[in-house]
Structure 1
Amino acid sequence: MKINSIFKKLFLSCSFLIGSLLLAQEKPLIIEELTPELYVHTTYNTFKGTKYSANGMYLITKKGVVLFDTPWDETQYQPILDSIKKRHNLPVIAVFASHSHEDRSGGFAYYNKLGIPTYATKQTNAILKSNNQATSTKEIKLGKTYKIGGEQFVIEYFGEGHTVDNTVVWFPKYRILNGGCLIKSAEAVDLGNVAEANVNAWPNTIDKLMLQHPIIQKVIPGHDNWRLTQHLENTIRLLNKN
């Protein structure tokens, strides 16, 4: 029994040490493949003293790479371009933001200076302008099927939720939804930052989204572990608890 107890303590100590080392070695930018054409990019920042991840996506086309949502960490604005170039030997040719918060459109000023076309809705740009923040150089046409280099995507707006201007990206070929902050992750225990949210309208917005897309192969939430399933279902549960 004593030997088993010793081994148990050693195992727990080693597990804690390995976990600590992995946390210490956490990369500021993580890029993971969903399909050969679609990738998830993850960066980190803090909110009310707690560190969180933020998920965005990018699409590989024959003409170049389309980035959806800028890194949350400003030190990763250039590294994500470098990483994409190194991995795919392609430039980023457009940057779309799903709403006006820093974890989505914070990199506009940087990419505007580089001459990369940036996109946001009229509503998002109005909010950015009112907050003296950089706006996009081009305006998103909601509901339009963008066709670039053999690939397609649609920027959609179903109503208020996390913010008044939150949009999602639908990739019809793959039935993948980039939900942004409108969608909470399956591991979320609350609605997060609701300073600009409309929690009363949010459930109806989700209903409209699900009616438009009854079959979705994969949903990417704006934060936390996107690899899980049941993101939409957990979002609904959290809204019902509110």
Structure 2
Amino acid sequence: MNKLFSLLLFLMISNVALKAQQPAVQQIGEDIQLIRLTDNTIIHRSFTVFEGYGRVGSNGLIYLVDSTCVIFDTPATAKTTVRLLDYLTKEQGYTVQALVVNHFHEDCTAGLDSVQARGILTYGSKKTVNLCLAEGNTAPQKKFGRKKVLKLGDQQIVNYYPGPAHTVDNIVTYLPSEKVLFGGCMIKSLGAGRGNINDADLGKWSDTVERVQKKFPEVVHVVPGHGHAGGPDLLDFTVEMFAEDRMKK
């Protein structure tokens, strides 16, 4: 009887622990959900159909400090971007201070018009701005070189260009207070495939991610552009995925 009770108690505790490890998912619209990552960061995941890939979930990030926030990447469509902005400002009372774009692809920039129409400053690297304009698309308003540090309240936001990988312009963003790295499509979720490599530099991808590892060795949480967030093992996984391409250079 004692063994049975111990077994049941163990299963109950394990179940509670498992649930606690799962991020809370909140559906705020038909094609957009929020996933709590840390006390002050939330992943926004939006869904749209991309030709050749079907319905795809794309990750962005929200960093909250007091009553203000910064968003990283727009949701994948104008509609889901408007829904996210309305939820944050009208329903939750946040002021959106800025939005930072990870790279020039549609899953990062589709909602820029909607963001800028509300007077929210948008940031991207010089490479991203130039590529958006070359594609005939709306570009971020503020551009920076290799690094741009923003402030949200008294907290730092480190935006850093480590080199080409998924695209020639992809950056990463590190939040020191949360130990969160938003890697975007440069970083692969565990078990993922290569995905869209049309604009990639395969030979330099692993080197670029290793540069991120050296720059931010204290990272705890890593958010990829698609799939589930994880820890530093996502960086190792990505380096390994493109290691053979590096050997071919």
Q: TM-score range by the shorter chain?
A: 0.7 to 0.9
Match of 1:61 among 59, 65, 75: 65
Unaligned residue ranges in structure 1 (runs of 5+):
1-25
Structure with the largest fraction of strand: 2
CA deviations on 1:60-107 (whole Å, 9 max, x unpaired) are 124621110000132211110122235631122211101100111221
Match of 2:125 among 96, 121, 124: 121
C-alpha distance in 2, partners of 1:123/1:141? Answer: 8
C-alpha distance in 2, partners of 1:91/1:214? Answer: 31
Q: How much has 1:164 moved relative to structure 2?
A: 0.1
Q: State the percentage of identical aligned residues.
A: 29
Structure 1's consecutive aligned runs of 4 or more residues displaced over 4 angstroms after TM superposition are: none
Amino acid at match of 1:35: T
1:94 aligns with 2:101: no
Match of 1:22 in 2: none
Match of 1:151 among 150, 155, 158: 155
Match of 1:197 in 2: 200
1:36 aligns with 2:39: yes
TM score, norm. by length of structure 2 = 0.80
Please say if residues 45 and 58 of structure 2, whose CA atoms lie closer than 8 Å, have aligned partners that are also in contact. Answer: yes
Match of 1:211 in 2: 214
TM score, norm. by length of structure 1 = 0.83
Instruction: Give the superposed CA RMSD.
Output: 1.9
- Cα distance change of structure 1 residues 156 and 68 upon mapping to structure 2, 3 Å threshold: same
Q: How much has 1:215 moved relative to structure 2?
A: 2.6
C-alpha distance in 2, partners of 1:143/1:203? Answer: 20
Match of 1:179 in 2: 183
Say how many residue pairs are matched: 216
Unaligned residue ranges in structure 2 (runs of 5+):
1-28
C-alpha distance in 2, partners of 1:143/1:63? Answer: 26
Q: How much has 1:236 moved relative to structure 2?
A: 2.0
Please say if residues 140 and 155 of structure 1, whose CA atoms lie closer than 8 Å, have aligned partners that are also in contact. Answer: no
1:234 aligns with 2:198: no
C-alpha distance in 1, partners of 2:155/2:217? Answer: 22
